[in-house]
Homo-oligomer: A and B are copies of this chain.
């Protein structure tokens, strides 16, 4: 029996925090599917810079990732229903309500565990571990 894990995010500018999250998510099962948010699904922060297909292709090239796919335009639970995962791994800093997700999964009859990944311990004080920090550094140096 293959144990499938779903991870999800925007992955606008890839950094080692993303890599840590996905590598940890991969250890929670046998197969890791990543759902990459479409621009329409990103409402809690500014619109991503890179197109959705580009973000999907870069994430899909990571060793930890078996498959990367775009999310559903309106209902983010649709691919989860289709994949029927054993685990949903959330990033340590993702603004999502774990309990609300569990309730919705139950309502839809999806029997899976919701887990939070840990954050990456910075190995270097210079590390820019969020897309926001990378963009701020670009604006500071080149703006």
Other CB < 8 Å A-B pairs besides A50-B128, A51-B128, A57-B123, 11 of them? A13-B13, A19-B57, A19-B58, A49-B134, A49-B137, A50-B134, A51-B126, A53-B127, A62-B63, A63-B63, A139-B143
Query: Using Cβ atoms and an 8 Å threshold, which residues of chain B touch A51?
Result: 124, 126-128
Complexed CA–CA distance, A32 and B74 (Å):
41
In this complex, the interface size class of chain A, counting residues with CB under 8 Å from chain B, is: 20 to 34
Is the Cβ of A134 less than 8 Å from the Cβ of B13?
Answer: yes
Is the Cβ of B23 less than 8 Å from the Cβ of A61?
Answer: yes
Complexed CA–CA distance, A61 and B124 (Å):
17
Binary B-proximity of A96-134 (CB < 8 A = 1, otherwise 0): 000000000000000000000000000110111000001
